[in-house]
Structure formats: C-alpha cells, structure tokens
C-alpha cells in the first residue's frame, strides 16, 4: 500500500478537532441473535485509552467496525478524522491492529513475518528490514526473531503480534487483549510496553481487557462497555477521585501509632488504624484548622516522625462495586 488513496475512495476530509482520534455516533451492531453494540457514542483521544468489558461486551466487534473490517448495522464513526464507511483503506494504512486471536504462521520466523508485512504496507525493502529489526527490539523479541513462531511461548507470540501492528509506524493502534494468556510478570512487561507506545512513541492506543485493574494502571482514559452499551467513559483520574481520607505513616517504637491516633482524635480528626497506617476521615473533622497542619503539629508535639501523608484514592473497581450490578473481574 502506498500513500495515495486507491481509486474509488473519495479524498480524505479535514481532520477532526485536535487530539480526537475516534468518534462514534449511535454505533450499533446487530448480529441477529445478539445486539453486540447498542447505540454507542464514544470519543477517544490521544494517549492510552482502555476499553474494558466482560466477555461478549462488544470490544472486538467495535474494533473490527472501526477498522472497516465489519459494517455497522446503524450509526457512524470516524477514525483519525476519516469516516469508516468511506475510508476503510486509508484508515487501515494509518492504524495498527493486534488481533485477539492467534494469527501467526507457525513455519515463519517473526523477522520474516514482520518484514513481509512492512513491505506489504509500502515500505521499500531496506527500510522494511530496518524497521523490522527496530520494532522487534522494542517489543523484546530480538534474540528469538529468526526462530519459527510455531515454537514460541504465548508471551513471545503476543510480542510478535504487537510488532506487526507497529511496523508501519501507525498513528493509532488497536490492541485487542494483549495480556491474554500471560503470566503476571509477562503481563506487567506487556502493560509497560503499551504505556511506552502511547506516551514515548506518541502513538494513540486503544487497548482492550476484561480486567479493570490492569488497564487502570496504564490508561489515561477508560471506556467501559456492558452488553454493547456505554457504561462509563472518563479520564482515569476521575475514577481515582479522592475519597476524603488521608493516610498517615508514623515512625517510632511500638505503640507510637496508637498514641498518634489518640492524639489526632483528641484534636478533632476521626481516625482508625489501617494496617501499619492511620486513616483520617477529613470529611468528619471537627477542627477549624487545616487538617494537614493539625497532623503536623500533633506529630511534632508527640515527638513522632511522619514517614508518609497522602490522600487515599479509590480504585476503578471500587467505583464499580458501589455502582451495584456491574462488577467486573479485576485480577
Ligand atoms: N460473527 C458473529 N456472529 C454472531 N454473533 C457474534 C459474532 N461475533 C461476535 N458475536 C457476539 O457479539 C457479542 C460481542 O462479541 P465480541 O467478540 O465483540 O465481545 P468481546 O467484548 O470482544 O468479548 P471477549 O472479551 O470474549 O473477547 C457476543 O455476544 C458474541 O457472541
Ligand atoms: Mg474480544
């Protein structure tokens, strides 16, 4: 594929407002027996966006529609400012796709496979070879790149799938369950890679998982699907709003934590032990003074060292527990 739009495709329109990479408007996919997407309105920006939902929520269907591989039943969507109904090829030239299921030819090495796809995307032979070596190094497959992929571990296969999604230097990548089948250490490595792609390489990322906990760690924004409907779309920081609780860690001999707790309570700060920390409920404080000043002065009066003083943040999964029915697995 080259830089020119193929015959039959209208010229690309003006790009969308800055920072907006995906917009959907009433997007619906009815498979007949299943309504996989139900009037979905979402906006995805630069950076890393986590697309979360239980099995069957519609994550893969959404990605395939955005790539122009599947037609929606109703509704519209744009990717990088291009309408999916008219510009499928132009979208696929600028977007990388790591599919959910295994798609690697077993007798081919990662190096040959990725190099082949790089040339298919229009890169000249020498540039394709260079990009292939770079991208395999970035995903951590440098050593094994000449071995047939049929002998790869699940972690290596996921890395090879990721490499082919990045080789043509896309502006946006869709990563469909990149942590699937990985052990905890490999999962952490993959999540770190996803974050680097979004932040260091400057490629917008839409990454799916059914685990809220892992996407919370790497996403700037989280979109949550529930049976094809949008449950919530927020900046990750909004999920992590402060609860109004402060956590304090004190240093000193045995009993220091109890003494500090009693003194804080006497100073008008309701508190309770939480492991080796003291939790202070600032929303029920009965002092007019700044809570941080009261804590500092109390520690000073007792001759106690303060090792830590921080706001307690809710995690996304806690937001869901409070929400009632929509509890998703988190680990
Ligand atoms: N080709 C198809 N024909 C009929 N139904 C389909 C088809 N593809 C998906 N579905 C159904 O649409 C719904 C959404 O499927 P989809 O694969 O998009 O979910 P998902 O969120 O990616 O799930 P998972 O986490 O299991 O990958 C499911 O109920 C699924 O059974
Ligand atoms: Mg899926």
Per-residue pLDDT of the chain (331 residues; tens, 9 = 90+): 334 445 555 555 544 566 789 999 999 999 999 999 999 999 999 999 999 998 999 999 999 999 999 999 999 999 999 999 999 999 999 999 999 998 899 999 999 999 999 999 889 999 999 999 999 999 999 889 999 999 999 999 999 999 999 999 999 999 999 999 999 889 999 999 999 999 999 899 999 998 877 888 899 999 999 999 998 898 887 766 666 788 899 998 889 999 999 999 999 999 999 889 999 998 889 999 999 999 999 999 999 999 988 877 665 555 555 544 444 444 4
Rounded distance between C-alpha atoms, residue 237 and residue 230, angstroms = 19
Burial class (CB in 10 A: 0-12, 13-18, 19+), 94: middle
Specify the CATH architecture of the domain 242-313: 2-Layer Sandwich (3.30)
Token pair recorded at residue 145: 């790149």
Neighbours of ion ligand 2 (CB under 5 A): 59-60, 100
Residue 212: predicted pLDDT:
79
Go through 60-92 and write b for each residue having 16 or more CB atoms within 10 A of its CB, e for each that does not.
bbbbbbbbbebebeebebbbbbbbbebbbebbb
Cα(112) to centroid(ligand 2), Å:
27
pTM over 0.85: no
Domain 20-238, what fold?
Answer: Rossmann fold (3.40.50)
Query: Pocket of ligand 1, candidates 29, 30, 31: which has the most ligand atoms within 8 Å of its Cβ, to mutate?
Result: 31
Helix, strand or coil, per DSSP, at residue 229: strand
Helix, strand or coil, per DSSP, at residue 125: helix
Radius of gyration from C-alpha coordinates of the chain: 25
Which atom of ligand 1 sits closest to the CA of residue 210? 25
Take atom 2 of ligand 1 and give the residue whose Cα is closest. 31
| Ligand 1 cavity residues, CB under 6 Å | 31, 34, 36, 53, 55-61, 100, 210
Which atom of ligand 1 sits closest to the CA of residue 54? 25
Q: Where, residue-wise, is CATH 3.30.70 in the chain?
A: 242-313
Q: Where, residue-wise, is CATH 3.40.50.300 in the chain?
A: 20-238
Cα(297) to centroid(ligand 2), Å:
54
Query: Pocket of ligand 1, candidates 32, 33, 34: which has the most ligand atoms within 8 Å of its Cβ, to mutate?
Result: 34
Q: Nearest to residue 278, comparing CAs of 193, 147, 172, 298?
A: 298
Alpha-carbon separation of residue 118 from 150, 226, 259 (angstroms)? 20, 36, 66
Query: Pocket of ligand 1, candidates 61, 206, 231: which has the most ligand atoms within 8 Å of its Cβ, to mutate?
Result: 61
Alpha-carbon separation of residue 91 from 38, 97, 241, 295 (angstroms)? 23, 11, 36, 56
- In this structure, the chain runs to a length of 331
């Amino acid at each position: 594929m080259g830089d020119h739009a193929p015959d039959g495709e209208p010229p690309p329109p003006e790009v969308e407002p800055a920072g907006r990479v995906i917009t959907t408007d009433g997007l619906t996919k009815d498979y007949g027996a299943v309504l996989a997407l139900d009037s979905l309105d979402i906006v995805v920006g630069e950076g890393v966006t986590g697309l979360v939902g239980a099995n069957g929520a519609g994550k893969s269907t959404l990605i395939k529609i955005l790539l122009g591989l599947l037609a929606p039943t109703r509704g519209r969507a744009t990717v990088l400012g291009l309408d999916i109904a008219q510009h499928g090829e132009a979208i696929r030239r600028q977007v990388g796709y790591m599919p959910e299921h295994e798609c690697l030819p077993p007798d081919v090495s990662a190096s040959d496979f990725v190099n082949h796809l790089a040339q298919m995307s229009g890169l000249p032979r020498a540039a394709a070879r260079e990009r292939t070596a770079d991208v395999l190094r970035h995903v951590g497959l440098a050593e094994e790149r000449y071995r047939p992929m049929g002998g790869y571990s699940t972690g290596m296969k996921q890395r090879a799938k990721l490499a082919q999604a990045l080789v043509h230097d896309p502006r946006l990548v869709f990563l469909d369950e990149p942590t699937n089948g990985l052990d905890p250490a490999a999962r952490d490595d993959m999540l770190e890679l996803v974050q680097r792609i979004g932040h260091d390489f400057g490629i917008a990322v839409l990454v799916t998982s059914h685990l809220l906990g892992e996407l919370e760690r790497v996403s700037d924004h989280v979109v949550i699907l529930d049976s094809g409907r949008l449950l919530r779309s927020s900046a990750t920081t909004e999920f992590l709003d402060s609860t109004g609780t402060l956590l304090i860690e004190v240093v000193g001999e045995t009993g220091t934590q109890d003494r500090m707790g009693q003194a804080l309570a006497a100073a008008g700060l309701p508190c309770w032990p939480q492991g080796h920390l003291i939790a202070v409920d600032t929303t029920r404080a009965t002092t007019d003074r700044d809570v941080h000043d009261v804590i500092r002065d109390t520690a000073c009066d007792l001759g106690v060292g303060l090792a830590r003083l921080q706001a307690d943040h809710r995690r996304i999964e806690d937001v869901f527990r409070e929400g009632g029915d929509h509890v998703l697995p988190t680990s």
